[in-house]
Each structure stands twice: as C-alpha cells, then as structure tokens.
Amino acid sequence: MPDLLYLCAIASGSSGNAILIYNETTTLLIDAGISAKRICDGLALMGRSPSDLDGICVTHAHSDHISGLRVLLKKTDAPLYATDGTGQALLRETPGAGERLREIRPGADFAVGDLGLSAFSTPHDAEGSVGYCVTDGQRRCSVVTDLGFVTEEVRRGVLGSHLALVEANHDVDWLMSGPYPPYLKRRIRGDLGHLSNEDGGALCCDLAEHGAHTLILGHLSRQNNTPERARQVVGHMLRARGYDGVALEVASHQVCSPAFEV
C-alpha cells in the first residue's frame, strides 16, 4: 500500500501562492510567490524544512508565483521545474536559478522522487504557463489556477484527480462594478485572465463527476471575491448537480491550510 499523499496550501490568492504536495518519501513545492520565511513556516507546520524539498515546480513567472524564490533557493538544493518560456523568465528575474532549471514540456510525464508529474498548458498572459497533476501511482491531485478559460487540454490534465485546487478568482458582478480600471477588468475577464466563481464551479462539477472527493477553491481576489462568496456559489453548483458528498474547502491568502489527504 503506497504512503498517504497530501496537499497543503501554504498560501493561495492573488497576492501570493505556494502549494505543498508530499508523501513519506517525496516533498514538492508548486510555486514560491510568498516570502521564503512564510514558506519555511508552512513547511515546518507540516514537519518539513527547505532541505526536505525534492523539487520546486513553477507554474509561470508572475510575481505572485515566484517572489520568494530567490531567497528560498539559498535554503534548499532542490531543482526547479518549469517550461522553457517560464524558465527564460526565471533566468532574467531570479539569480541562482540557472543551474537548478530542469525544462519540462506540457503533456510529457516526469518524475520527482517517488511522485509522477505531468504539466498541462493554461491560457494565461504569461509565456509557458502551466498547471500540474501529481500522482503516487494510486492517488492523483492537481493544481489549476491562473487561466482565462478551461481548455480541453486543461480538462484532460485534471479530470480523474481525487483532489484538486481550482481557481475561483472573482465574482463577475463585483469585478465589473468595482473600482478597477477598464483595462484591468478586461484582462481579468479575458481568455488569458482568471476564472470566475462560476467558471471554477463548472470545472469543480466536472471533477466531481469524474471522482474527485475534495475540491479546494484557490487564487481568490482580495478585492473582487470573498471565501464566503466563492464557497456559496460553487457549493450551490455542486449541490444542484447532486454532489453533496464532495468536500469543498477554500484556500487562504494568509493562513496555511491543513494537510488534505489525497
């Protein structure tokens, strides 16, 4: 029987992201968009340290996904996994990244320690942007945030996950009636922007239909959403489809989540 597999959202939101996935033998970090201190504190809560990291997988090179990477690389020897487009940005923006980089290709499987991974392209305004699926051979989890819409590639990448962290960035009415300038509203709502609560909810329903038992809403906007609103909208969509038994959680900008068993 394989060791249990866990996912912990150290932070997830428009202000910073760091997701920990681990079992007894392998520890992965997806993104490092908060301070290295906060990442280390989150690792410690899970009984781990930076030296335990076997790999750091980067979704894309926006600051809310890499801002803590420069300092974190001084505390760990873990390699960096990123697409060519993201890797080129890391070489420009993150000193010390060059010798750590391992290029990955969307659709191609790779392994880190005892865990298998695959990346899938996400439509976002950052070159080489991807989401990740992680498996121990029996259990499967995925992280899918920062995308303007759900493509067939995204669906193929995440469906079949037992646990998934899914973007629910904004409430459309709140965004459109709020103080953001028109160009920023267009960016968020565009095909290279972010998923609304309803968009994320539709993907959550598809995941539930294909066997997901736990769904975590992530990458919420501080200005255009609240945990209560995201949970209300997506929860209603799940119940309307008959998926009352699926656990629905909301990841926090500031508070490290518990370890969710995959």
Does 154 reside within a domain? yes
Range of the domain at 143: 6-261
For helices 197-209 and 227-240, angle between their N-to-C axes, nearest 10 degrees: 40
Does 1 reside within a domain? no
CATH number at residue 234: 3.60.15.10
Does 23 reside within a domain? yes
3-state secondary structure of 37: helix
Does 114 reside within a domain? yes
pTM of the model: 0.97
Does 28 reside within a domain? yes
pLDDT tens series, the chain, 262 aa: 458 999 999 999 999 999 999 999 999 999 999 999 999 999 999 999 999 999 999 999 999 999 999 999 999 999 999 999 999 999 999 988 999 999 999 999 999 999 999 999 999 999 999 999 999 999 999 999 999 999 999 999 999 999 999 999 999 999 999 999 999 999 999 999 999 999 999 999 999 999 999 999 999 999 999 999 999 999 999 999 999 999 999 999 999 999 999 9
3-state secondary structure of 108: coil
Number of domains in the chain: 1
Q: Name 142's bridge partners.
A: 133, 164
Relative to beta strand 109-112, strand 115-121 is antiparallel
- Could you give the strand order of the β-sheet that contains 101-103, starting from the edge strand earlier in sequence? 101-103, 80-82, 55-57, 27-30, 18-22, 6-11, 260-261
